[in-house]
Amino acid sequence: MPPLRTALLQSSGRLGDTAENLKALEEAASRAAQGGAGLLVTSEMFLTGYALAPQDIAGLAEPADGMSARAIGEIARRHGVAVLYGYPERSGDAVYNAAQLIGPDGERLANYRKTHLFGCFEQDAFTPGDAPVVQADLGGLRIGIMICYDVEFPENVRAHALAGTDLLLVPTAQMHPFQFVAEQLVPVRAFENQMYIAYVNRTGPEGEFEFVGLSCLASPDGVTRTRAGRGEELVFGEADPELLHASRTTNPYLRDRRPGLYASLV
């Protein structure tokens, strides 16, 4: 089975301008396809921007099958590349911080709602999701989805490991001074859970926030396979099933677990 070449779009797009962000996504999908990628991953809330007032987020929110989802389906189909994008999802009266995976044929594969909301800003704007493990199959790999703060909870990522996730996609809005998450925590999560993790950040100033970039693809051997800098960038890495299998064969973490000892955790 060949590796899944993955493009990480480190960008904040244009705040509050869905149309311009769709244009940027189109251009990135073209570059990703030209670079041989089968998957393009964007940052958290890429479709609208992150640092918006709750009422503005609510005004820009769309259903999972809304106009932007259909437009991104056309982009994915046109370039033959799967797309994972962050956006505000409206469902009834609730608004979720969501990420949706669209297949290379333009069909919707999975939609995830952020379960752990960070700070008063997110708690005022969003309803937390309640499904910790959302997965889909792509390119011979089991794909999982989280958003930003979710990956900082070890129980979350371990749940994905136990459910068979091979490549965990994590669109994020990681801000100063927490860059250690991208630099240190994400590679450790990949190693201790024996999976690939694609962690894709926003960059630069936005409202009261300063996003740190440093997007990466970490592999199950703990190695960072690709790393972006601090600015706008499209970087590529490969999720290799053979390396994944070899690492899981030699690393005993998941085999040596003793779940009976962990009941106090819940």
So which residues are the catalytic ones? 44, 114, 148
CA nearest to 82, candidates 49, 120, 35, 33: 33
3-state DSSP call for residue 119?
helix
Between strands 82-91 and 141-145, the pairing is unpaired
Cβ atoms of 64 and 100 within 8 Å: the answer is yes
CA nearest to 221, candidates 199, 198, 248, 200: 248
CA dist., res. 135 & res. 159, Å (int): 12
Going by the DSSP 8-state scheme, the letter that residue 51 receives in this structure is: S
Cβ atoms of 146 and 156 within 8 Å: the answer is yes
CA nearest to 151, candidates 180, 122, 127, 123: 180
